[in-house]
C-alpha cells in the first residue's frame, strides 16, 4: 500500500470519528440534554455537555425566584443534570441551558395529557394574588380565578394541596387556567345523584356554607349544593346573608323543594327556628297600641316590625289625617321607632294592619 493510500484511509477513519462526535450545532432550543457541572461561577454554572463542548446555566434558571433555596445549593460540581436548551451556541456565547425548565417542559406534556383525558390533578398553592390563586403542578404554574374557587379561606392557604381541573392550556404562551370548582363538582357527581335520590321534601339535613351572595347562600349537603334564598335565612328582614351566616359555617336546613331533573334543591334555615307568627298569638290584639320599627317604605304604605320577624302594614291612608294621599317618606323613614294601633289582627293569615293616625289620638 502506498503512502498516499494509507493517508487517505486514515483521513476517512478520522472523518468517521468526527461525525460520531456531538457538536453544539446539533443542539436545538427546547431539547433536553445531559450535562455535568464543571464549576460554579458568579452568575451561574459552567456545564460539560460532552466532546469538550460547554454550556452555561444561569443561576436564575436553576430555581424560581421566590423559592427560598439558593441556586448554588441545588447544583454541585461533578454532578450530572438534565438541562433544557434555551439558546443555541454562537461564536460569541456558549449554549444557554436551564435546569428549572426541564420539569416544566415535561410538565407541559403531562398537563396536555391530563387535559385531553379531562382528569383532575393535585397541585400546591404557591401564592394568593388579587383575583385568585397561583398553583403549581408538574413544575408548571397556573392560575385559578376567584370565580373558579369552590372553597375559601384556610383551605386554600399557601402551601396547601388542592385538586383542580384544567380549563385552558397554551404551552406556547405559558398559559394555564384551572378550576377548583369543576374538579370538586365532577368528583362529587356520583355522590350528587345518590344524595338527591335520598332527599325528601321536609327533611332536615346538615350542611356547610360554601358560598354567599346577595340573593342567598349555597349549602353543601353531602355532595350536592342546595340554594338557601335570602328570604329563607331569617324571619327578620336582612339586607345580606352575611348578617346571619358565613362561608364555612355548619348549619342545619330544611328541604323545601327538589327538582331531580335539574338537580336543584331549595332550602330553608329560618323554618327550623320558632315561627314568630305563632309566638305573637295571645300577645297582641286589635285595638292595642304597640311600639314598632319602620323597616321599609312603599308607595302603598309602610312596613313596621312590631315583633322580631313580624312585619305589619301601615297603609298610606292610616298615616295621617292632614292629607288624603300622603307620601310616606314625608312622615317616617326606615329605622324610626313609632307607636301604632293594631286595627286588624290575623296571625293565621300572616296579616296585620296598623294605624298611625289613630294611635296618636
Give the confidence band of 291 by pLDDT, cuts at 50, 70, 90.
Answer: very high
Report if residue 3 sits inside a domain. no
Whether residues 324 and 339 fall in one domain: yes
Assessment of whether the complete model's pTM goes beyond 0.75: no
Instruction: Give yes or no for a contact between 62 and 101, defined as CB atoms under 8 angstroms apart.
Output: no
Per-residue pLDDT at 50: 83
Number of domains in the chain: 4
* pLDDT, the chain, mean: 85
Inter-residue contact 263 to 224 (CB < 8 Å)? yes
Among 258-267, 296-305, 333-342, where is mean pLDDT lowest? 258-267
Cell of residue 89, nine digits: 451556541
What does the alpha-carbon distance between residue 248 and residue 3 come to, in Å, rounded to a whole number? 91
Distance, in Å, from the CA atom of 119 to the CA atom of 187, rounded to the nearest integer, reads 10
The size of the chain, in residues, is 361
Question: Which of 44, 69, 98 is at the close of a domain?
Answer: 98
Q: Which cell is 323 given?
A: 292629607
Q: Is the pLDDT of residue 12 over 70?
A: no
Min mean pLDDT across 144-153, 186-195, 305-314 is at 186-195
> What integer is the mean pLDDT of 58-71?
72
User: According to the model, what pLDDT value does residue 75 have?
Assistant: 83
Under 8 Å between Cβ of 100 and 45: no
Domain that holds residue 75: 24-98
Residue 361 domain flag: no
Do the domain assignments include residue 8?
no
Say which residue, 69 or 171, is predicted with more confidence.
171
Question: In this structure, are 299 and 347 located in the same domain?
Answer: yes
Please indicate, yes or no, whether residues 249 and 295 belong to a single structural domain of this protein: no
Q: Are residues 327 and 258 in the same domain?
A: no
pLDDT at 259: 87
Check whether residue 201 and residue 245 sit in a common domain. Answer: yes
Give tens-digit pLDDT for 87-98.
888 878 889 999
Q: Which of 98, 128, 145 is the last residue of a domain?
A: 98
Does some domain include residue 42? yes
Contact 107, 100 (CB under 8 A): no
Residue 278 maps to a domain: no
Give the long-range contacts of residues 247-251, CB within 8 A, separation 24 or more.
247/152, 247/153, 247/209, 247/210, 247/211, 247/212, 248/152, 248/153, 248/208, 248/209, 249/208, 249/209, 250/206, 250/207, 250/208, 251/206, 251/207, 251/208, 251/209, 251/219
Q: Which three cell numbers stand for residue 99?
A: 435546569
The dihedrals phi and psi of 137, each to the nearest 5 degrees, come to: -145, 135
CB 158 within 8 A of CB 125: yes
pLDDT cut 70: percent of the chain above it: 88
pLDDT at 329 over 50: yes
User: What's residue 31's pLDDT?
Assistant: 86
Q: What's the pLDDT score for residue 22?
A: 47
CA distance 1 to 3: 7
Question: Do 309 and 351 sit in the same domain of this protein?
Answer: yes
What pLDDT, on the 0 to 100 scale, is given for residue 91?
Answer: 79
Confidence at residue 13, expressed as pLDDT on a 0 to 100 scale: 59
Integer Cα distance of 299 and 129 in angstroms: 46
Q: At which residue does the C-alpha cell 402551601 appear?
A: 159
- pLDDT score for 246: 92
Tens digit of each residue's pLDDT (9 = 90 or more) over 218-271:
998 877 889 999 999 999 888 899 999 999 999 999 999 998 888 889 999 999
Q: Which of 250, 272, 294 is the last residue of a domain?
A: 272
Q: Is residue 303 part of a domain?
A: yes
What's the confidence (pLDDT) of residue 62? 85
Cβ proximity of 213 and 246 under 8 Å: no
The answer on 257 and 216 residing in a single domain is yes
| 252 and 194 within one domain | yes
CATH number at 267 reads: 2.40.50.140
Q: Are residues 178 and 195 in the same domain?
A: no
Q: What letters, b where the CB count within 10 A reaches 16 and e where it falls short, cover 244-278?
A: bbebeeebebbbbebeeeeeebbbbbbeeeeebbe
> Residues 179, 199: one domain?
no
Would 111 be classed as within a structural domain?
no
pLDDT digits (tens, 9 = 90+) for 171-227: 888 899 999 988 887 776 767 777 788 888 999 999 999 999 999 999 988 778 899
In a domain, 113, yes or no: no
Q: Mean pLDDT across the stretch 139-166? A: 84
Amino acid at each position: 500500500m502506498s503512502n498516499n493510500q494509507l493517508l487517505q484511509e486514515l483521513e476517512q477513519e478520522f472523518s468517521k470519528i468526527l461525525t460520531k462526535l456531538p457538536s453544539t450545532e446539533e443542539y436545538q432550543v427546547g431539547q433536553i440534554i445531559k450535562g455535568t457541572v464543571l464549576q460554579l461561577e458568579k452568575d451561574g454554572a459552567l456545564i460539560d455537555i460532552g466532546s469538550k463542548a460547554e454550556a452555561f446555566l444561569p443561576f436564575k434558571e436553576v430555581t424560581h425566584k421566590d423559592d427560598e433555596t439558593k441556586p448554588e445549593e441545588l447544583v454541585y460540581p461533578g454532578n450530572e443534570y438534565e438541562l433544557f436548551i434555551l439558546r443555541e451556541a454562537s461564536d460569541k456565547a456558549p449554549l444557554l441551558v436551564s435546569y428549572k425548565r426541564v420539569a416544566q417542559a415535561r410538565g407541559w406534556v403531562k398537563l396536555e395529557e391530563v387535559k385531553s383525558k379531562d382528569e383532575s390533578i393535585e397541585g400546591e398553592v404557591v401564592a394568593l394574588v388579587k383575583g385568585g390563586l397561583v398553583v403549581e403542578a408538574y413544575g408548571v404554574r397556573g392560575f385559578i380565578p376567584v370565580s373558579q374557587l369552590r372553597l375559601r379561606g384556610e383551605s386554600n392557604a399557601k402551601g396547601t394541596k388542592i385538586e383542580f381541573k384544567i380549563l385552558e392550556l397554551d404551552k406556547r404562551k405559558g398559559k394555564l387556567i384551572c378550576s377548583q370548582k369543576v374538579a370538586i363538582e365532577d368528583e362529587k357527581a356520583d355522590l350528587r345523584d345518590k344524595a338527591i335520590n335520598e332527599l325528601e321534601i321536609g327533611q332536615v339535613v346538615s350542611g356547610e356554607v360554601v358560598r354567599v351572595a346577595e340573593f342567598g347562600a349555597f349549602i353543601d349537603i353531602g355532595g350536592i349544593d342546595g340554594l338557601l334564598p335570602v328570604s329563607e335565612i331569617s324571619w327578620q328582614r336582612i339586607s345580606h346573608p352575611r348578617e346571619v351566616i358565613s362561608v364555612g359555617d355548619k348549619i342545619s336546613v330544611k328541604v323545601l323543594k327538589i327538582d331531580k331533573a335539574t338537580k336543584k334543591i331549595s332550602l330553608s334555615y329560618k323554618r327550623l327556628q320558632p315561627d314568630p307568627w305563632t309566638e305573637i298569638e295571645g300577645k297582641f290584639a286589635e285595638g292595642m297600641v304597640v311600639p314598632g320599627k319602620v323597616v321599609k317604605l312603599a308607595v302603598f304604605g309602610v312596613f313596621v316590625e312590631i315583633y322580631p320577624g313580624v312585619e305589619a302594614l301601615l297603609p298610606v291612608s292610616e298615616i295621617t289625617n292632614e292629607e288624603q294621599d300622603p307620601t310616606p317618606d314625608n312622615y317616617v323613614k326606615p329605622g324610626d321607632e313609632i307607636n301604632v294601633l293594631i286595627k286588624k289582627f290575623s296571625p293565621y293569615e300572616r296579616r296585620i294592619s296598623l294605624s298611625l293616625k289613630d294611635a296618636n289620638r
